[in-house]
Each structure stands twice: as C-alpha cells, then as structure tokens.
Structure 1
Amino acid sequence: MPSGDSLKTAVTTVDEEGGPDYFLVNCAHPVHVSHALAEEGPWRNRIAGLRCNASTKSHAELDEATQLDEGDLRLLTTTHDQLKPMLPNLSIIGGCCGTDARHVTALWGL
C-alpha cells in the first residue's frame, strides 16, 4: 500500500468503518500481490477482485516507461494461479497495465 500499511491492515481498517461489499486489488503483478497476501486470516475472504499488471516492473518504472510492458504471459498466469487458493471469494479477474485480451483470456484459463 502507498501508505506503508499492509493489505490486511487496509482491509480490516476500512471494514471497521463499515466497509464496502468487497475489495479489489488492482495495478500490481501477482508476484507483488503474493507478498501482500502472505498474512493469513478471514480478511482475505473480503477480496473478490484481482486486476493484475502484465509487467513485473515497479510503479516508478512503469511511470517512466515510454511504452507498455506486456510482460511474460507464462509468469503472469502461473503466479496468478498461485494466488487463487488464497482468495476463496475471487470472482472478478481482469487486467491492468500492459494487459490486453490475450492476457485476460489466459488468466481465465480460456
């Protein structure tokens, strides 16, 4: 999280204030998201969506890039699949920076 808080802290803090229907993690490659999901607990049940970047580059590197990085499709799908068991209510899957229909199709396993 940009604030320095863990994803767990962010989800539980927002939920304590009433919370949304669900949370969606956006704009990060699965290799970066896996670290955020390392803390087990029921808070992970609150995440229903995942929109990953194709690129493993940092946000700073992506901000400086002159073209989108389409990343490594096999790495994206493999690491994305490793996140699924951590997110039992995952029902929204999409793409963010560098993704196109090819990436999203692969993420859905089509």
Structure 2
Amino acid sequence: MARRKHRKIPQRDIYQEVTDRIIDYLEQGTAPWRNPIKSGTGDGWPKNLDSGKRYRGINVLLLGMRSWESGYSSDYWMTFKQAQSAGGQVRKGEKGSLVTFWKLYATKDK
C-alpha cells in the first residue's frame, strides 16, 4: 500500500495580517480608528444580517476598514452560507472579509 504524501499548508498569521493593514493605513496618513466608519445607513456598527448581533472586538475595526475601502453603504454582513440559505447570491468576483472568532469563557484555577 502506497503512502500518501502530505503537503504542508502554510498557516496564516492573522496577527501579522491585521498589523500590516493598520500600518498601511497609518503610512497613508489615516488612523483607521479615527476615520468615521459610519456609512450611508444605520448606526455604523457592523452587524450580522441573519442574527442582527453587532460584531465585537477587532472585527469592528476590520469590517469598518473593509466597508470604507469598498464603499459599502450597509452596516450588515453575512456569511456565504447564510446568503445561500436565505436564497441570495454573492456577486461574482467578491472576496471574503477577514473576521476573527473569539469567545470569553470562565476558568477555574486548580
């Protein structure tokens, strides 16, 4: 039985990607956290269209920068699968936006 060769897929360095994006803005003379993220509609907070929940943490900055770069006029975001299950489609050529999953949890010291 022949063994399969496993190709090692390089891991993404999310911290470096976020840092690079922020540095790019700073080098252009824009502090992304000072730029008004508020677009044409809503309160300016990125929200999930399906659940209505606001994004939190670094995702607010990441989605705000993406919205500003692309000229989006809506504060709502959804996953590809959420769009499919709602009967929607994603525009041809659109790319995904970087968001991170994080969760608070309680621990007990032993």
TM-score (norm 2): 0.25
Q: Give TM-score, length-normalised by structure 1.
A: 0.25
The structure that has the greater radius of gyration is: 2
Greater strand content: 1
